[in-house]
Amino acid sequence: MLAFVCFIFVCCTCFMCFTFYAAIHFIICGDHCSLTYSAGALGGGMMLQGLSVDSSGPSFTPLVVVELVSDAKEETIGWLLNKIRDQQHDGGAELLVEQLGPGVGAQEKENPNLFLVGATWQRLLSGAEDVGLFKESTDGSMRAFTCANKHNFKDFGGDGDGFLSMAECQYIIKHELDTLRAKDETHVPGYKQAKLYPGKSIIRRLLSKRILIQIFPLHDKEELKRLSFSWYKKVKLSLQPLDDIRHYYGEGQALYFGFLEYFTFALVPMALFGVPYYLFDWEDYDKYVVFAVFNLIWCTVILELWKRCSASLAYRWGTLSRKKAFEEPRPGFHGVLGFNPVTGREEPLYPNIKRQLRIYLVSLPFVLLCLYLSFCVMMVYFLMEGWALSVYDQEPTFWTGVLLFIPSIIYAVVIEAMNLIYRYAAEFLTEWENHRLESSYQNHLVLKVLVFNFFNCFASLFYIAFVVQDMVLLRQSLATLLITSQILNQFMEAFLPYWLQRRRNKKMIRKVQKRRILEDKELPLAEQVRLEADMSTYLGTFDDYLELFLLFGYVSLFSCVYPLAAVLVVLNNVTEVYSDAFKMCHVFKRPFSDPAANIGVWQLAFEAMSVIAVVTNFALIGLSPQVKTYFSDSETHLILWTVAAEHGLMAFKFILTFLIPDIPKHIQIKLARLEFESLEALKKKRQLHGGKCLKPRSSGRWCSEEERRAYKY
C-alpha cells in the first residue's frame, strides 16, 4: 500500500510540474502568434506624446473608450457627448471626446457607437486634486496633490508632463464621467422610460437601462511590453515588479499580486519543514503534534506581518492616508424617489426593513438549503468511499487500489461544480436584496460565498478527522481534494485562457493580413480598440482571493497530517503568478485603477480562518495517541487540558495582534508629521484671517487659492 501511495503521489507531482512547465511555455511563447498587443496601435509611453494613430485618428491622446448600444438614438448620443464636453461650471466633465472611425474592412454588424475620451493635461491635474491623489513630495513624504503647490512634488517638471501615470489619468477620467449628473432633465433624451432627476448620475442610469454597454481604459503598447517582459515572459526566481504593476494597473491589482507573492514565500518554511517530516514519518500517521504546533505559530504570525507589509506598500503608493471617496448608489439600486439628507439630492430610497426581510426570510434559508444539499452530497461521497474500501478489502489488487481514489476525485470535481453554480445563485440573490452601496453588496456576496465554499470544501475533512477519526483516510482525502482542485484550476486559468485568446485573434489576424498586403503599417487604432472591446471583462480580484483563501485553509487546517500540502500550494502559486499575469495582459480588458490601501474584507476572512485553524489543530493534537497516553486515566482531563491550551494560544494570538503594530513605526511618524504640518498651516491661516474658520463658500468654491492650499495641505 505504501508503494502504491508513493506511486500516486509521484504521478500527481509530475503532472503538476508538467502543467506548470506547459503553462509557462504557452504564456512565454504564445505572444508569437498573438496580435492582441503586438501590432502597436497604442504606441508612446509618455502621456502627452500620444498614440500612434493614422491620419484619421483623434486629435488628442485617447485614454478611455465609451461604448453605447449600436441602435442608440442620435439625440441620446448628442446629449451625452455634450455633457462630456461641457465646462464644469455648466455641469459637464470638460473632457475631450471623438467618435471612433470605421476599421479595416468595416462590416455592417460592427458597432459604430464607440467613442474615445481624453483630457487636456491641465484638466487631468485638476482632476488629480479632485480625487485626492497622493504623490511623493520633494521632502520624501506622501502628500495630497494640489495644483497650487504642484512644483513641491517630486518628478513634477515643466508643465508636469509624465507626472501622472496612464492608469491614474484613466482613473481620473472615470471619476469625472461618474460624477456627471442630471440638472433639469426628467429622462434620458430619446428614452422616456429612463427617468432622471436633479443630481442623478447619468452614467449609472445609462448602465442600468443598458443604453451604455461598457466603459474601459485602453492599453499602452510600449509600457505593456516592458511590463510583460519583466513580469512573466522569462522564468526567474525573483520578486515581482510590484511598482510597475501598480503603475500600470493600480494599487488594487498590485496588492493582490503582492499578497500572492508574500503568501508563496511564507509557505516556503512550512514546505521545507514538511518534506522531511513527511518522508521520515510516513508510516507514523499519528505523529503530527510537532507539525500542528508549527502550523499554529505560522498562521498567526504571517497574517500580522502581512498587515505591516501591506501598510508599507500602501504608504509608498499613496493610498494609506488617502480618504475614501463618498460612495454613490449602485447602478442596479432601485426604489421610490425621495430626499437624501446627506447629499441634499433626490434619489431612490429603499426601506431597510424590506432588505432585511429579504435577507433573513429568503437569502438565509436558501444558503442553509444549499449547505444541506452539500451535506447530502458529502454523505453520498462517504457511501462511495465505503464501497471502494470494501472492494479493496475483498481483493487488494492494483486496480482496486486505484479505485480507492476515484470517490475523492469525483467528489472534488463535484465540489468545484457546486461552488460555481452556487456563485451564480449568490450573485442573483445579493442583487435581488437591492443593496444601495457597492461595498455593502460586496460584503454580503463575500459572506455568502465564503460560508458555502468553506462548508463545501472542508466539511468532509472535519467529518473524517473528528467523527470517523481516521487519519489515514484524512490524509488521502486531503491530498486528493487539493491535487484535483489545483489541476482543475490550472486548466481553467492557464490552458483555457490561452486557447480562448488564440481563437479570438484568428479573425483579426485575417483582417490585418489584408491590410499588410496593401500597405506595411501597424494595426490601426480603430482595430485595436475594437479588439479590446471584444475581450473579456476583468471582474476583479474576488475569485483570485477566494482561491487563495481555500488554499490557506487546506494548509492551515489539516496540513499537519499531510505536510506536502504546502509544497503543492507553492507550486500552484508560482504557476498562478504567470497565468494571472498573462491573463491580465492578453486575455482581459485593462481594468480601471482601484486605489486600495489593503486587501479589504479578505484580511478578516484570512484571520477568521487562522482562528479556526487554532481550534482545529489543537483538536487534532488532543486526538493524537502521544497526547492520549498522558491522559489514559481520564478523557475528561484530556478535553479540559486541550481546551485550556487552545484558549491560551488564542489569547496569545490576540495579544500578538496588539503587540505587532499594523503600521511600521517610521510610517506612523511620517503620517503624524504630515497631520501636524497640516494643522499648523491651517492655524497660521486662521491667524492671518483674524481667527475666522477657513471653509468653502456656499457656492462650493474657495475664497482664495491660499485658503484652499492651507486647508488641503
| Residue 9: band (very low, low, confident or very high) from pLDDT cuts 50, 70, 90 | very low
Give 30-46 pLDDT, tens digit per residue. 443 343 333 333 333 33
| Residue 133: band (very low, low, confident or very high) from pLDDT cuts 50, 70, 90 | confident
Q: Confirm if 707 and 694 have CB atoms less than 8 A apart.
A: yes
| Residue 698: band (very low, low, confident or very high) from pLDDT cuts 50, 70, 90 | very low
pTM assigned to the model: 0.83
Question: Which helix (DSSP H) or strand (DSSP E) does residue 60 occupy?
Answer: none
83-88 contacts at long range (C-beta below 8 A, 24 or more positions apart): 83/180, 83/202, 84/117, 84/177, 84/180
Give 98-121 pLDDT, tens digit per residue. 988 765 555 557 788 899 999 998
44: left (phi over 0), alpha (psi -120 to 50) or beta: left
User: How far is the C-alpha of 586 from the C-alpha of 498, rounded, in Å?
Assistant: 9
Is 379 strand, coil or helix? Answer: helix
Contact partners, residue 663, CB within 8 Å, separation at least 6: 308, 311, 315, 320, 671
684-688 contacts at long range (C-beta below 8 A, 24 or more positions apart): 684/710, 685/710, 685/711
Q: Is the pLDDT of residue 682 over 70?
A: yes
Kindly state the percentage of the chain with pLDDT values over 90.
23
91: left (phi over 0), alpha (psi -120 to 50) or beta: left
Cell of 123: 484638466
Mean pLDDT across the chain, nearest whole number?
79
Distances (CA, A) of 342 to 202, 322, 328, 696: 20, 21, 11, 17
Is 184 strand, coil or helix? Answer: coil
CA angle in degrees (0–180, nearest 5) for 544-256-657: 105
